[in-house]
Amino acid sequence: MCGIVGVAAKREVGNILLEGWRRLEYRGYDSAGLAILNSAGNLDRLRRLGKVQSLNEAYKEKPLEGSLGIAHTRWATHGKPSEKNAHPHQSGGTAIVHNGIIENNQVLKAELQEIGYQFLSDTDSEVIVHLIDSHLKEGISLVEAVRKSVKRLDGAYAIAVISADSPDRIVAARSGCPLVLGKGIGENFVASDVLALQAVTDRFIFLEEGDLVELTSD
C-alpha cells in the first residue's frame, strides 16, 4: 500500500503535489501519477512507471494547471506495474486514487461491464471510479455517489476523488488504510500520512475507520 496526496486550494496545486510525492517516496512504490482539474473544468492526468523523478521531469516539460488535484504512488497488488495501471484512474470526468485492496473487484467489474463500462487497467481499483461515475449519472452529488460506492466495497481502502461534476472539492474516505487531513488557510489537504504535508501545514485531523469527508479550499 502506498501513498495519496490531495489538495483543494485557490492557487496552483501542481508543485504542492510534487512535494507531497517526494515526501511519500520513503514508503516505496513502482509507479506514480496525478490528476488536476483545469480552469476549463477538464481533468488533466500524468502517469509514469518508475521513479517520481521521471514524473517530475515529465511534469516540468508540461505542467498541469489547476487548483484541485490528487496524486498517488502505487505499490501494485492487482495488475503489473505499468503506466496504464498507475493511478489516478478515470471514468468520464471523475478521477480517483486508491490505496489498498478491493477483494470483490471481480464481481463489481462484471456488474459494471454489464452496464457498458470498459476497463482500461488490470487493477482492482478501477471498479471504484466506474461505480462512482455510475452513481453520478443518477444525478446525485459527488459525496453521495462516493458514499453509495464505498458501501459496495469489500476490502481495505483509502481513496481521494475529484470530479468535473463538483469542481471545488475532494471527497475522501478510509476503511482499513490510513488517511489524514491537513488544514491550511484558504487551502486544505488530504494524505496517507503527515510527512507528505509537513511542507504546507502543521495542523492535522486523523480520520477514523469508516470516515468520509468532503474537502474544499475553505
Q: Which residues sit at the interface with ligand GLU, rule CB under 6 A?
A: 1-2, 74-79, 85, 98-101, 123-125
Provide the grid cell at 85.
495501471
Nearest residue (CB) to ligand GLU, 77 versus 141: 77
CB of 129 to ligand GLU, least distance (A): 12
Q: Which of 41, 105, 48 is nearest to 72 (CA)?
A: 48
CB of 93 to ligand GLU, least distance (A): 21
Nearest residue (CB) to ligand GLU, 126 versus 187: 126
Nearest residue (CB) to ligand GLU, 9 versus 170: 170
Nearest residue (CB) to ligand GLU, 140 versus 195: 195
CB of 78 to ligand GLU, least distance (A): 4
Q: Which of 109, 120, 87, 113 is nearest to 2 (CA)?
A: 87
Main-chain dihedrals φ then ψ at residue 34, nearest 5 degrees: -150, 155
CB of 216 to ligand GLU, least distance (A): 26
The gap from C-alpha 64 to its chain's centroid, in whole angstroms, comes to 16
Q: Which of 160, 4, 129 is nearest to 71 (CA)?
A: 4
Amino acid at 37: L
